[in-house]
Structure 1
Amino acid sequence: MASINPRILISSGSPFEAQIGYSRAVVDGGFVFVSGCTGYDYKTGQISDSVVEQTEQTMTNIQTALREAGAEMRDIVRVRYILPDRKDFPSTWPVLQKWLGDIRPAATMIQAGLMEEVMKIEIEVTAMMSRK
């Protein structure tokens, strides 16, 4: 009988994870599911007012979670962008192109309110393990 890999929970140290009861990422079934990341710098607890800077920090946060899971950005197969103001989305494209342009995952953009007014973008990704 084949061994079953254990489910792995990954935390960024964000206070929201403990308060709400979720993980930054979960490794299960050959995939890494990275929850909605925002532009907070988890080391300082700070967030920029700029949607572009928030997008850059969000992608850095996603990369950190993926690496802790044993994956890389190139393993991303699905991405979902959530913005309170869809008019901000085009200004994020150069950052997204830099991080995902060669990967070209399936993607969806949704306009919705986020947990805090200061948050201008939230991004979640799914990555497939062993895509080396």
Structure 2
Amino acid sequence: MARQRISSGSSFEQLAGYSRAVVDGDWIFVSGTTGFDYKAGTIAADVVEQTHQCFRNIQWALEQAKSGLKDMVRIQIHLTDPADFTRIAPVIGQYCREARPANTTVVAQLIDPRMKIEIEVTARRDSSDPVDRPGGRK
């Protein structure tokens, strides 16, 4: 199966030569995604709104890969201010509760000072019906 590359049209992708997401078989790798609204070219000042926008951007990329947030297996969060964690944790829980992916959160400086959070996701599509899996119902 050929790799599928998904682009949001972000100028960052063009500048640095990367894809918003790459699909390799059933695996989907979503690049670090910030709170920019790519259509409007804006970013909110509030970390909570940036977190919601990150997940809207990630959800869009996963949908392009015929997947969704429920398929997340790993999430890595880069946060610029550790004090913001208590504000964003419930938002992350809202989007991750169904999938319950492995999670790592780190504090790091991001490229653009307007960015307060960046989220990277790995997801895996379930390509088999439970009935057809080894050991499944026949």
CA distance in 2, matches of 1:35, 1:59: 12
Per the alignment, in what secondary structure is the counterpart of residue 130 of structure 1? coil
**Paired residue type of 1:62:** I
Identify which of 103, 112, 115 aligns with 2:111.
Answer: 115
The two structures have a TM-score, normalised by structure 2, of: 0.89
CA radius of gyration, larger in = 2
1:55 and 2:51 aligned? yes
Structure 2: where are the runs of 5+ without partners?
130-138
The alignment status of 1:69 with 2:65, answered yes or no, reads: yes
Q: Which runs of 5+ in 1 are unaligned?
A: none
Q: Distance in 1 between the 2:64 and 2:16 partners?
A: 21
Cα separation, 2, equivalents of 1:130 and 1:101? 18
Shift of 1:121: 0.2
Matched, 1:7 2:24: no
**1:102: which partner in 2?**
98
Could you report, residue by residue, the CA deviation over 1:7-50 in whole angstroms, capped at 9, with x for unpaired residues? 00000111000001100000014200000000000110000000
Work out the percentage of aligned pairs sharing the same amino acid: 50
- What is the CA distance between 1:89 and its match in structure 2? 1.4
Matched position secondary structure for 1:115 = coil
1:70 & 1:86 partners in 2: Cα distance?
Answer: 34
State the partner residue of 2:135.
none
Q: Is it true that 1:43 corresponds to 2:39 in the alignment?
A: yes
Segments ≥4 residues shifted beyond 6 Å: none
